[in-house]
């Protein structure tokens, strides 16, 4: 009898918890306007080169991962072409306040880290190049498995964010392409 009662209580508890979780996930699944936050960006490419003034990423991923941890934990992505096209747009543009970035790459079998300031991006096909000013270390002339961590991008004003079932937020900048969040609800 005790086993039956414990099982019944556990079943009721699980049913209530499950219903509550489904209700919360459904409530939070509506889209909302992307807030202005300081995004961190990650670009990756299988090859990188540096000629003393220009950093070139060859085979660049067409999507740039973006994430923020304040005021909320959010993730998102922006396509590389839109990122470059909008480099000089807005009062907080990267052209006006060039970002710092850390480049991690492999050269001669060893990880090489360097910190640079990025300016003047150019995207041609899957090759992205930046003019750079060295801040710390020196990128290798040739490297593989390149990852560029870009600091503090306020991002475009506007875009769509959505909560997922786990309470995380995923955002996509609009660059004027989307009418408004109500369109997606």
Residue 15: partners with Cβ closer than 8 Å, 6 or more residues away: none
pLDDT at 156: 56
* 8 A C-beta contact, residue 33 and residue 174: no
H or E stretch at 79:
strand 74-79
H or E stretch at 26:
helix 2-27
Of 52 and 160, the structure prediction assigns the larger pLDDT to 52
Residue 133 predicted with pLDDT over 80: yes
Q: What is the pTM of this model?
A: 0.73
What does R_g of the chain's alpha carbons equal in angstroms? 22
- The candidate with the shortest Cα–Cα distance to 103, out of 136, 64, 61, 65, is 136
Place of tokens 């219903």: 19
pLDDT at 154: 65
Residue 141 predicted with pLDDT over 60: yes
Q: What is the DSSP letter of 49?
A: E
Q: How many residues does the chain have?
A: 185
60 cis-preceded (ω within 30 degrees of 0): no
pLDDT at 158: 67
Tokens of 106: 């492999």
Residue 96 predicted with pLDDT over 60: yes
């Amino acid at each position: 009898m005790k086993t039956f009662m414990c099982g019944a209580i556990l079943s009721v508890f699980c049913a209530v918890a499950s219903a509550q979780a489904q209700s919360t996930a459904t409530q939070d699944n509506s889209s909302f306007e992307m807030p202005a936050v300081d995004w961190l960006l990650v670009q990756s490419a299988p090859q990188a080169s540096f000629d003393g003034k220009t950093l070139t990423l060859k085979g660049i991923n067409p999507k740039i991962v973006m994430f923020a941890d304040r005021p909320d934990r959010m993730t998102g992505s922006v396509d590389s072409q839109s990122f470059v096209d909008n480099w000089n747009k807005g009062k907080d543009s990267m052209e006006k306040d060039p970002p710092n970035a850390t480049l991690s790459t492999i050269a001669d079998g060893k990880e090489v880290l360097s910190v640079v300031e990025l300016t003047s991006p150019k995207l041609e096909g899957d090759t992205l190049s930046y003019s750079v000013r060295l801040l710390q270390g020196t990128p290798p002339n040739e490297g593989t498995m390149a990852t560029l961590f870009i600091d503090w991008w306020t991002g475009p004003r506007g875009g769509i964010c959505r909560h997922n079932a786990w309470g995380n937020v995923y955002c996509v900048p609009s660059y004027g392409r989307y009418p408004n969040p109500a369109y997606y609800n």
